[in-house]
Structure 1
Amino acid sequence: MSNFAFNNPAFQQQDPRNAATYPGAPQQAAPQAGTYAPPPAPTAAQAAAVNANLEGMYAAPSAGAIETDRMTVEDTIWKTVGLFAVLLATAVVGWVWTASTARVDASGNLTADLTPWIVGALGGFVLAMVVTFTSRKKVRPALIFGYAAFEGLFIGAISAWFETIWPGIVMQASLATFAVVGVTLALFASGKIRASAKMTKIVMIAMLGYLVFSVLNLILMWTNVLPAGQMFGLYSAKIAGIPIGLIIGILVVFMAAYSLVMDFDQIQQGVRNGAPRKYGWLGGFGIMVTVVWLYVEILRMIAILRGNN
């Protein structure tokens, strides 16, 4: 089990005895029965032509993703950059929309138009589910771009809301997110960290537990079961003077960082499997899902820390 965005045979380790099951997977020709007859020895002219052809192939530039129509790490990186460019563009819209409607009343409470927040969150969730459950049959880049646009709207709105309450928090969360992503990528590229079956099971169990906790927290907040003044619900509760949200936040950052390791590992597996080039969009989609989750968790953790001072 891993990032649901990579729930596709193209990113799974293939059994060499079986053909891959994703669309466009390279197939191995079945051996034919019969006697083997060695080919005739080439003539001098034929040998010279073969050597000239080989020299031309060595001199030519290496075939890229476009020429081979196969997934590569470099092509996946460019696709990921394009998706984040869309996210940033719509994040500006969400930011301006929310910031322009933010007001602080006489009691010090912040009010703002939450339309971009709600629309972005719901739209992103729906498209994420559609992309995930339909990617086994067909990869649809348009839906992935739509997901990036909705997520940008959500990220811009929630960032503007937090920034109004705690000025400078968005810069702090952004730098922390870049640091976690950069360090994780550097360690993975150097071969110092890799995803293991045992650690993956532990992290996935922890992620499921965290999901249950988050859903329970939302239910308690919506039903007004928790005492007033706890902006983040159970996250605002304290143990020995330390907010639970801060403790959980540190664990969640670790889980998100390890999820990035799994994302990078499965992208490499997709390249080794010879997946079609279009599957690079799924790779970019999976990385975006993890990075957005990481940013939101860091944003909340910093908000709890600053609100506690």
Structure 2
Amino acid sequence: MSIFGLRTSNPAFNRYFWRKHKTYSKSKMSISGIILKSLAMLTLVGITATYTWKLFFAGVEVKWYTTIGMFVAIVCSLFISFNHSSAKYLLPIYAVAKGFFLGGISAYAHNRFPNLPFQAIAVTITTFFVMLFLYRLKLIRVTKEFRAIVITASATIFLFYFIGWILWFLKIDAPMLWGTSWFAIGFNVVAAIIASFSLLLDFYYIDRQVGRYPKEREWLATWGLLITLIWLYVEVLRLTRKLAIRF
């Protein structure tokens, strides 16, 4: 998110992470390379998420799988953020860790509200292609002002979640974030919309780098897309869960 840079809401796509490096090969980034790497990483996410899901419904407590997966993914992201050449080594670990995290939270949601995760997946995939369609046809232009709005909103959302996590660790209730009030639902709606718009920024920066930067940077592009897609899925899952509870 924008906490890592000022050019985009996604840390993988700001100027620092895209600067040139002498050790890279002469091969250039390509859309096909990014797609293949993204599919491979999403497959890893799906495998570990399915495994965690099956453990949950087999009666195994998956709390630690979910928690450790979340923290391992955060650590991997920090390493990638400050040493972008490590992306191709750490991204598979990141994908596996995120799979454990997503599998856990999805299983909990499905246990209380059957099929809710599948609905969230469908909404996430649909949103991805809608945003791609809007971007390719230039129905929404990624202008400097548009980027500034999305970056500011992303940073604000991240700050709210960071404060909420601190309060959660301190055993202090934060119903504005985790509750089912109209304010909490509205916050989730806004967060999901901003996550959707972040996809446009991701497309914009990838579009500008393809054919110009070394092929190794495809791993960073893949990492950036995974961050946004997973963020969008989590927001949609939380939103649908809150609506299910309220109605």
Superposition TM-score, scaled by structure 2 size: 0.89
Counterpart CA distance in 2 for 1:126 and 1:225 is 25
Counterpart CA distance in 2 for 1:173 and 1:212 is 24
1:77 equivalent among 21, 31, 35 = 35
Q: Would the aligned equivalents of 2:17 and 2:81 in 1 still touch at CA under 8 Å?
A: no
Indicate the residue corresponding to 2:3 in structure 1: none
2:160 equivalent among 190, 213, 235 = 213
**Aligned ranges 1:1-309 → 2 under 5 Å:** 1=6, 2=8, 3-9=10-16, 11=18, 21-24=19-22, 69-101=27-59, 112-135=61-84, 138-226=85-173, 234-236=177-179, 238=181, 243-272=182-211, 274-309=212-247
Counterpart CA distance in 2 for 1:69 and 1:246 is 46
Counterpart CA distance in 2 for 1:299 and 1:237 is 13
Counterpart CA distance in 2 for 1:224 and 1:278 is 43
Counterpart CA distance in 2 for 1:250 and 1:152 is 24
Counterpart CA distance in 1 for 2:111 and 2:55 is 13
Counterpart CA distance in 2 for 1:171 and 1:304 is 16
Q: CA deviation at 1:191?
A: 2.3
Q: CA deviation at 1:24?
A: 4.3
Q: Would the aligned equivalents of 2:180 and 2:245 in 1 still touch at CA under 8 Å?
A: no
Q: Would the aligned equivalents of 1:139 and 1:278 in 2 still touch at CA under 8 Å?
A: no
Counterpart CA distance in 2 for 1:9 and 1:72 is 20
Q: CA deviation at 1:114?
A: 0.3
- Which segment drifts farther, 147-156 or 217-226? 217-226
Question: What SS does structure 1 have at the residue aligned with 2:62?
Answer: coil
Deviations 1:217-263 (A, max 9, x none): 2333343433xxx8x6644253xxxx222211221121111111111
The residue type paired with residue 28 of structure 2 is R
Counterpart CA distance in 2 for 1:224 and 1:145 is 33
The residue type paired with residue 267 of structure 1 is I
Comparing both structures, which one devotes a greater share of its residues to helix? Answer: 2
Q: Would the aligned equivalents of 1:91 and 1:152 in 2 still touch at CA under 8 Å?
A: yes
- Structure 2 spans left out of the alignment, 5+ residues: 1-5
The residue type paired with residue 113 of structure 1 is V
Superposition TM-score, scaled by structure 1 size: 0.72
Deviations 1:90-144 (A, max 9, x none): 1112212223236xxxxxxxxx430110111011010011011101xx2441211
Indicate the residue corresponding to 1:106 in structure 2: none
Quickly say closer, same or farther: Cα 1:7–1:101, change in 2 above 3 A. Answer: farther
Q: Would the aligned equivalents of 2:76 and 2:93 in 1 still touch at CA under 8 Å?
A: yes
Question: What SS does structure 2 have at the residue aligned with 1:101?
Answer: coil
Q: CA deviation at 1:190?
A: 1.9
Quickly say closer, same or farther: Cα 1:160–1:132, change in 2 above 3 A. Answer: same
Counterpart CA distance in 1 for 2:15 and 2:219 is 13
Q: Would the aligned equivalents of 1:235 and 1:244 in 2 still touch at CA under 8 Å?
A: no
Counterpart CA distance in 2 for 1:181 and 1:269 is 19
